[in-house]
Amino acid sequence: MVGTARPELLARRPGWAGGKPNALTLSLTPLSDEDTARLIGSLIGRPVLDAGQQAVLLAHAGGNPLYTEQYAQMLADQGTGQQLSLPESVQGIIGARLDLLEPWEKRLLQNAAVIGKVFWPGAVAALGGKAGGGELEEYLHGLERKQFVRRDQASSLAGETQYAFAHVLVRDVAYGQIPRAARARKHAQAAGWIESLGRTEDHAERLAHHYLSALELARAASQDAAALAAPARTALQAAGDRAFALRAFAAAAGYYRAALALWPQDMQEQRAGLLRLLGTMLYLAGELEQAETVVSEGAEVAAAAGLPAVQARIRVVLTEIRTLQGGPSAAALAECETAIGVLDTESDRDGLAEAWTLAGRLRFWLGDSPAAEQALERAIAYAWQCGNHRAESLAASWLGVRLTKLPVPADAATDRAE
């Protein structure tokens, strides 16, 4: 595995790789003036800079090969017969290169920048512009020749050629040149294109990013963003569900927290459910104190809204958190069984799968193995009915632990001895 990082990594983690014989750190120092001059000469193909201009270029580059590369590209874009000014930063050079493009080329790059570091012609076309189909592909090939973008060999979207920016700074500069109001509109258009692909659950994180970006930019531009709030919170919750399914609990917590901020205070049922999910993610991520605070708030909201099933499910999560903090107890089992009674009355199979899983674990810890086995079998049955794969997997693993503790039959023990 090869990983790259800024020098700040060693400031945060000075002991990184210490004592590991199979780890190696290569520190990349700035290029020397001689190496920088040789690089610019090889990129341009022939000496075109006078001594004075080269000295200024070397001073500005500061040993940064990206600055040198971008300046060489700017010379190629403009032609070698003209004297070009030297921007103070790499971003300045990239901005100058973008300004040398035809207006439609620049607009195409800006639309691509809204999609992200990686983009597809269909997405770019959805954000506006006259070019489409083969004409758009031809324009992208032109930008590829100018080394703004590159075409990837494989695509993550069937039927779409995938492109990527040659460097993330090119994308960032192109994106930064778009006015905020226009950015908000383009992000909303990008979200609409993603929805048109179908199977939005496969693109949940990307959809959430575009809707949330559109909402925040519209607000920053003092636009009416009310129409964006509902799809943004729905997309964020779906992204949280997706991250939860992939066991990325910290990421899921971030999505749920962002979705919660967009739910109006009077929509108590949705808020209570999100607080339960957020608390569960924090608990699974190991943030027990935060999890207890969030879940307790969810219990208050559910009680005020008269939601017994949500209250019961929150009770199960709270019991699990407090069991981890203080150990299993008969009182914890009683809390869990009370929640089971409510969930059974409400016919909440998803909640029953989780509650019976915890009940089985508590009974096992408290020494009642036969009752633990029965509880875990019920949990598996409910989980299978409602598609709760996490509860099914957890209950099955604990059932396996329970079965390994069963006494060995006498005839089996005799056979093993022989």
pLDDT, tens digit, 9 for 90 and up, residues 97-145:
898 888 888 999 999 999 999 999 999 999 975 555 568 888 898 899 8
pTM of the model as a whole: 0.76
Strand order across the beta sheet in which 118-119 lies: 118-119, 163-165, 149-151
Neighbours of 29 (CB within 10 A): 6
Residue pLDDT, tens place only, 345-375: 999 999 999 999 999 999 999 988 889 999 9
Among candidate residues 99, 125, 154, the one where a domain is terminated: 99
Query: CATH number of the domain that 401 lies in?
Result: 1.25.40.10
**Residue at 367 is within a domain:** yes
Among candidate residues 99, 117, 142, the one where a domain is terminated: 99
71 or 263, which is more confident: 263
Judge whether 113 and 171 are in contact, CB under 8 Å: yes
Among candidate residues 64, 99, 134, the one where a domain is terminated: 99
Q: How far, in whole angstroms, is CA 399 from its chain's centroid?
A: 33
Domain count, the chain: 2
Domain membership of residue 54 as a residue range: 30-99
**Residue at 185 is within a domain:** no
pLDDT of residue 82: 57
**Residue at 181 is within a domain:** no
**Residue at 80 is within a domain:** yes
Q: How far, in whole angstroms, is CA 6 from its chain's centroid?
A: 21
**Residue at 375 is within a domain:** yes
Q: Residue 138: CA atoms inside 13 Å, Cβ hemisphere, count?
A: 6
Tokens of 99: 């300004």
Tokens of 75: 């010379």
Percent of the chain's residues with pLDDT above 70 = 89
**Residue at 82 is within a domain:** yes
**Residue at 414 is within a domain:** no
**Residue at 179 is within a domain:** no
